[in-house]
Structure 1
């Protein structure tokens, strides 16, 4: 797999307001997507649109079937959530694919806020802790065609034990097997400071590492990359905007 992926700009975060259920069909306008720092297919001006298209193309060339991609930053603030969200959006440009973005950063979840969504306490952690919870009931419309979000739910101080559980594997298997066109992107926590990213990597087919350009040193990037199986490691995205 390619070890030097193209740089992309960084993110700004928003505040939550409301959430649309899975059945909602309201599409976000270009200005709304820009406000959410999310790319859209018809935007030919922003260079990050082409950058994320290229990243998507590289992943599709390197992996088979409806693969699961883990996107993790080297350190907090490197822009991992921005890259995960926009890489998922770029995959959803393809009308033959359906995409699910799973926010796995249980200590500092951000995707619902960035997308101006405010789930009422229901999300990934609820599924993992409550046996009666159904995966389909936790998927929310993002206002982007073919892209759904599975938010974290209530933030937790611990997460590693959840990610190594049978329920986590069952969730991913269920989401992937129900639709052969589905691609799953997991937005993971930083590699440095906790074992969560390494545990999530065991569940993924592909791992993308995000480094803050001018923020993470070559030594810390190399150390972070060394945590992952070389067969799964797609490369490093240098995020310029952090």
Structure 2
């Protein structure tokens, strides 16, 4: 039985856009859910398939499946470890990072990718923002462009990822759903690792399989799956596991 029907998913998505997502890993660091995020962090860091992981894509097969929540809290968890971390909102159509951290979404990634200046390194400090959380910066998506996929597939985006890799220990990329647009595929092909977020009791197995196949077509390094929204009686709100082929 699905935990969220279509109407509930839409309401949840709209709420995330307006109010952002809950940073449980920040306001309840000793809680059970925060511990699950620390476990996820450890599993990512020691993933045999991962190699040297810096740039991590989080995506899902469909919308409103919790990837923005997992992305933001994972970023907080890496920062809490003392790693210089940046959370980048690549979901230009339905952004949440700006609302989560109370930042105006007037600049951000879109401005960096469309600015006439050739010096990306000088633009990054202008449009990225520090947060109240130590070691954590964010880069909001910016105003919605007419061509998100083209921007994310541009040479300028590849250059930005290279610069971020020099400046930060972990780069968390919150991308749109795989089956909705091609954005996640484009970015995953240039990232160190990709993780699928799958909601318990709601995910469609065929859709998850399709998402996996699309990511594999661009040689994305899928290192695992996060199953969220698990019932509390199971003792865990999240589960991380290897992606079995």
Q: Same fold (TM over 0.5)?
A: yes
Q: 1:65-121 CA distances to partner (integer Å, 9 max, x unpaired)?
A: 4510000121111011111111111111112x10010000011111111222224x1
User: Matched residues in 2 for 1:16 and 1:117: separation?
Assistant: 11
Contact 1:16/1:115, CA 8 A, preserved across alignment: no
Find the counterpart in structure 2 of residue 71 from structure 1. Answer: 58
* Maintained 8 Å contact 2:90/2:176: yes
Give 1:217-228 correspondences, 5 Å limit. Answer: 217-228=204-215
Residue pair 2:60, 2:196 contacting (<8 A) in 1 also: yes
Bigger mean CA offset, 81-90 vs 224-233:
224-233
Larger relative contact order (C-alpha < 8 A, sep ≥ 6)?
1
Q: What runs of 5+ residues in structure 1 fail to find an aligned partner?
A: 1-9, 18-34
Aligned-partner Cα distance in 1 for 2:95–2:145: 9
The number of aligned residues is: 211
131, 152, 157: which one aligns with 1:142: 131
CA apart distance, 1:38:
3.5
Q: Secondary structure at the match of 2:214?
A: coil
Instruction: Give yes or no for contact 1:14–1:115 (8 Å, CA) kept in 2.
Output: no
Pairs within 5 Å for 1:121-140: 121-132=106-117, 134-140=123-129
TM-score (norm 1): 0.79
More helix by percentage: 2
Return the alpha-carbon distance in structure 2 between the equivalents of residues 157 and 88 of structure 1. 28
Does residue 1:51 correspond to 2:36, yes or no? yes
CA distance in 2, matches of 1:71, 1:231: 12
Does residue 104 (structure 1) correspond to residue 98 (structure 2)? The answer is no
Checking the alignment, whether the CA contact within 8 Å between 2:78 and 2:85 is kept in structure 1 is yes
- Give 5+ residue unaligned stretches, structure 2: 1-11, 231-245
Give TM-score, length-normalised by structure 2: 0.78
Among 180, 194, 198, which residue is 2:185 paired with? 198
> Counterpart of 2:16?
13
